Amino acid sequence: MSIRPVPYDHPDAVKLNDQVQAEYAERYGDEGDVTPLDASMFKPPLGLYLLAYDERDRPIASGGWRGQDRNDEGYADGD
């Protein structure tokens, strides 16, 4: 397995995100996670997006971090 930083709008990231949203919709019976996200949110130094690839170079997992400005929406550390 290898883990690589990629843009949030990389084709492999889009594919995995679409798959997980379809799973959420099927599992929970709604639209999935409708949090508005933009690729710029995951650009260093304020964010990072990673994909894991298997030994055949197939994307198998993803994860990202993004900073958030303080606001009144009730976000806590770790959100």
Convert the pLDDT of each residue in 2-48 to its tens digit. 999 999 999 999 999 999 988 888 888 877 677 788 999 999 998 99
Cα–Cα distance, 29 to 14 (Å, whole number)? 21
Domain ranges of the chain: 2-28+40-66
Assign residue 69 a region (left: φ > 0; alpha: ψ between -120 and 50; beta: otherwise): beta
Structure tokens at 27: 């599992």
What is the pLDDT at residue 34? 75
Cα–Cα distance, 75 to 79 (Å, whole number)? 6
Query: At CA 63, angle to CA 65 and CA 30, rounded to 5?
Result: 100
